[in-house]
Amino acid sequence: MKKILFIQSEFDFNQFFDKKIFPNRNIVEFTGIKYLNKSEEFFSKYDEIYNCNYFDIHASSIIKKAKNAGAKTFLLMDGIYDWANSHLNPKWEINNCIFDVSFYNLVYCVDKHSASYLKLTGISTDLYKPARIFQSSKNDITNENNITNSSRSKILLSTSNTPYFNEVEFIKITNIFKGVINWSELNSVDTYCRIFDKKILEKLDIKKENNLTDGTINSHLINFDAFITTPSSTSVTAVLLDVPCIQIIYRDTPISFQSAWQIFNIDMIPEVLKSALNKDKNRMIHQRTILPELELKNEATGLQSKIDNAKNIKYSFIQLAFIIVRSKFKAIYYKLFKN
All structural domains of the chain, each given as residue ranges with its CATH number in brackets, are 4-129+296-337 (no CATH), 147-287 (3.40.50.2000)
Rg (CA), the chain: 21
Concatenate the DSSP letters of all residues of 185-197 into one string. Answer: HHTT-EEEEE---
Concatenate the DSSP letters of all residues of 12-37 into one string. Answer: HHHHH--TTT-S-GGGEEP-GGGGTT
pLDDT bracket for residue 304 (50, 70, 90): very low
Concatenate the DSSP letters of all residues of 22-76 into one string. Answer: -S-GGGEEP-GGGGTT--GGGGGG-SEEEES-TT-HHHHHHHHHHHHHT-EEEEE
The verdict on pTM exceeding 0.85 is no
Q: Give the separation between CA 333 and CA 325, rounded to whole angstroms.
A: 12
E strand residue ranges, 106-244: 106-109, 124-127, 154-158, 190-194, 226-229
Residue 256: CB partners within 8 Å, gap ≥ 6?
80, 81, 82, 83, 111, 113, 114, 117, 231
Cβ atoms of residues 112 and 236 within 8 Å: no
Q: Which of 48-52, 80-84, 158-162, 189-193 has the lowest mean pLDDT?
A: 80-84
| The pLDDT of residue 171 is above 90 | yes
Q: State residue 329's pLDDT score.
A: 61
Q: State residue 95's pLDDT score.
A: 53
Cβ atoms of residues 323 and 315 within 8 Å: yes
| The pLDDT of residue 305 is above 70 | no
pLDDT > 90: percent of the chain: 50
Q: What angle do CA 279, 236, 218 make, to 5 degrees?
A: 85
| The pLDDT of residue 139 is above 80 | no
Q: How far is CA 326 from the centre of its chain?
A: 19
| The pLDDT of residue 307 is above 50 | no
Q: Which of 28-32, 212-216, 264-268, 305-309 has the lowest mean pLDDT?
A: 305-309
Cβ atoms of residues 263 and 176 within 8 Å: yes
| The pLDDT of residue 273 is above 90 | yes
Q: Which of 146-150, 272-276, 309-313 has the lowest mean pLDDT?
A: 309-313
* The pairing of beta strand 297-298 with beta strand 261-263: unpaired
Q: State residue 203's pLDDT score.
A: 95
Q: Say how many C-beta atoms besides its own lie within 10 A of residue 69's C-beta.
A: 19
Q: Which of 172-181, 212-221, 283-292 has the lowest mean pLDDT?
A: 283-292
Using alpha carbons, select from 300, 301, 296 the residue that is nearest to residue 111.
Answer: 296
Q: Give the separation between CA 295 and CA 283, rounded to whole angstroms.
A: 25
Query: pLDDT tens across 87-116, in order?
Result: 666 665 555 555 667 789 999 998 887 888
Q: State residue 119's pLDDT score.
A: 85
